[in-house]
């Protein structure tokens, strides 16, 4: 190796630190810190991940992990099963919603303040391995024991699919993973059978994921050979991604919902729909992540995600918002800047340079690049909707805990009284006793509304959120969103436009 090369300099420095430094040095950590230091001086999205972080990061995107297949919440230091995954190992062995898992392989996990990730680590494990769980079930005095054989558990990336109104379908995509295109096709088919003529595609809070998944989703909405996105970088030639044709929803009214946390792959879909004048984008300016990372696997299972290119919408807009190399803190605080500048309340406070002006491909409308996707229809953030008192109740988990307690005590009678969701949605009201319990617990924790007006402002939102949570635990996320969306300003604006 050339002794004058920068690489030799780095190795020489590391060798001397390891050999001569006054205290013992962890060579592995020193190398990891060195890699992180190099990447931090580049852009905000080039990162280093340890082998453990790589595994945790990939599981949701790959669309499965290996475990026992339960959705759960922690209630007063006890794991409460909300639902079993349909067809999963726990359901097959007879675990029920409402069960409390108190031990795993004869180690207590209830009442011992065990961290949530440690509990998950004990429940998860390779497919085909056995785990013995101890379960406490309402009305049964003995602890039940179940020998469960772990298996692959599917992770859904689509949060909700339902008919928003007659003829109007609604699909909310939480992230773009390996299974998203198949899930999306399934959702479209289901809604078409129910008479969908128009579609509201909700990408609010969708942080992105796989580029290819975004391309395949957009393919279902655009005509054959329509350009969806292209990537280009210093050492990476232009690479175009086009719609394959025979899309399930190439025609029909389409509205895409976005907000400040809509990023990356979700911005690719939004940008393509907007540039082709295929549909209307509604909400607030998206995050602005248009950097393409290449994963570089290192021998020990760790990984560098290195930015190699930008992505561009069909009209040629770069989605990436501006950043200064090495100034990660400023970049991370962009949402705070948007709030302070008034951008989230008024579209007029966003100013783009003329050099960032582009035109849509069909109707030649003006659109701007260089900082996310600006919606066609701006919906201001309603900062008055959630009172300070409501945010405190939520932050201290008083709302979620109250709903879990209520479901735990009334699941059987609720299922008998409301065999179908439509009846529940129409007639169920949160009992006053539940509200009183939350307010009493809040007082115990020294949380109080500043006056009667704040309490009056809090109660309707609190009742709605509780009802949605009860519906989620009895049925699922489709029902949760069908309740909560009735007060979502962005969803309501979409309905108004349709």
- Give the catalytic positions in this structure: 264, 275, 289
The alpha carbon torsion through 65, 148, 103, 474 (nearest 10 deg) reads: 70
Sign for the CA dihedral angle at 364, 365, 366, 369 comes to negative
- For residue 281, the 8-state DSSP code is E
- State the sign of the Cα–Cα–Cα–Cα dihedral 348, 350, 354, 357: negative
Contacts from 326-333 at CB under 8 Å and sequence distance 24+?
326/40, 326/41, 326/42, 328/40, 328/44, 331/44, 332/44
Beta bridge partners, 254, equal: 199
Q: Say if CB 177 and CB 62 are below 8 A apart.
A: yes
Distance, in Å, from the CA atom of 23 to the CA atom of 319, rounded to the nearest integer, reads 47
In angstroms, the CA 66 to CA 270 distance is 33
Q: What is the residue whose two structure tokens read 């297949």?
A: 69
For the record, the structure tokens of 77 come out as 């230091």
**CB of 243 closer than 8 Å to CB of 338:** no
487: nearest Cα among 350, 386, 340 = 386
**Left, alpha or beta for 206 (phi > 0: left; psi -120 to 50: alpha)?**
beta
Cα angle: 473, vertex 205, 394; to 5 degrees: 50
Find the Cα–Cα–Cα–Cα dihedral 334, 338, 340, 346, rounded to 10°: 180
3-state secondary structure of 475: coil
Cross-strand pairs, 84 = 70
Q: At 360, list the tokens.
A: 């849509």
Output DSSP code: residue 318.
B
């Amino acid at each position: 190796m050339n002794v004058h090369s920068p690489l030799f300099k780095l190795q020489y420095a590391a060798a001397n630190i390891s050999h001569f430094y006054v205290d013992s040095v962890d060579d592995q950590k020193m190398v990891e810190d060195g890699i992180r230091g190099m990447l931090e001086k580049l852009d905000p999205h080039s990162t280093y991940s340890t082998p453990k972080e790589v595994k945790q990061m990939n599981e949701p995107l790959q669309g499965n992990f290996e475990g026992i297949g339960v959705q759960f919440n922690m209630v007063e230091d006890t794991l409460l099963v909300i639902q079993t995954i349909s067809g999963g190992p726990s359901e097959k062995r007879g675990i029920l919603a409402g069960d409390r898992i108190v031990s795993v392989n004869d180690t207590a996990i209830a009442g011992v303040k065990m961290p949530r990730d440690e509990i998950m680590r004990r429940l998860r494990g390779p497919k085909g391995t056995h785990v013995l769980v101890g379960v406490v079930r309402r009305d049964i005095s003995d602890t039940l024991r179940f020998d469960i054989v772990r298996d692959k558990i599917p992770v859904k990336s689509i949060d909700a699919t339902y008919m928003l109104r007659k003829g109007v379908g609604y699909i909310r995509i939480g992230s773009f993973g390996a299974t998203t295109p198949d899930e999306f096709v399934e959702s479209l088919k289901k809604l078409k059978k129910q008479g969908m003529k128009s579609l509201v595609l909700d990408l609010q809070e969708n942080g992105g994921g796989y580029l290819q998944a975004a391309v395949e989703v957009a393919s279902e909405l655009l005509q054959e050979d329509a350009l969806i996105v292209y990537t280009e970088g210093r050492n990476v030639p232009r690479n175009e991604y086009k719609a394959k044709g025979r899309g399930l929803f190439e025609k029909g009214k389409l509205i895409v919902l976005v907000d400040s946390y809509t990023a990356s792959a979700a911005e690719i879909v939004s940008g393509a729909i907007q540039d082709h004048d295929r549909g209307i984008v509604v909400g607030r300016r998206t995050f602005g992540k248009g950097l393409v990372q290449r994963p570089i696997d290192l021998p020990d299972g760790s990984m560098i995600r290195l930015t190699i290119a930008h992505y561009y919408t069909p009209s040629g807009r770069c989605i990436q918002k501006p950043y200064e190399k090495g100034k990660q803190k400023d970049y991370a605080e962009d949402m705070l800047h948007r709030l302070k500048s008034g951008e989230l309340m008024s579209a007029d406070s966003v100013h783009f340079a003329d050099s960032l002006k582009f035109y849509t491909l069909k109707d030649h409308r003006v659109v701007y690049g260089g900082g996310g996707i600006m919606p066609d229809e701006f919906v201001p953030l309603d900062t008055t909707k959630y009172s300070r008192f409501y945010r405190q109740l939520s932050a201290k988990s008083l709302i979620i805990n109250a709903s879990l307690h209520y479901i735990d005590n009334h699941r059987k009678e609720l299922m008998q009284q409301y065999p179908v969701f439509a009846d529940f949605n129409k007639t169920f009201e949160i009992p006053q006793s539940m509200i009183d319990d939350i307010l009493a617990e809040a007082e115990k924790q020294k949380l109080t509304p500043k006056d009667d007006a704040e309490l009056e402002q809090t109660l309707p939102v609190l009742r709605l959120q509780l009802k949605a949570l009860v519906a989620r635990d009895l049925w699922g996320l489709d029902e949760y969103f069908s309740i909560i969306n009735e007060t979502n300003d962005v969803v309501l604006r979409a309905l108004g436009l349709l």
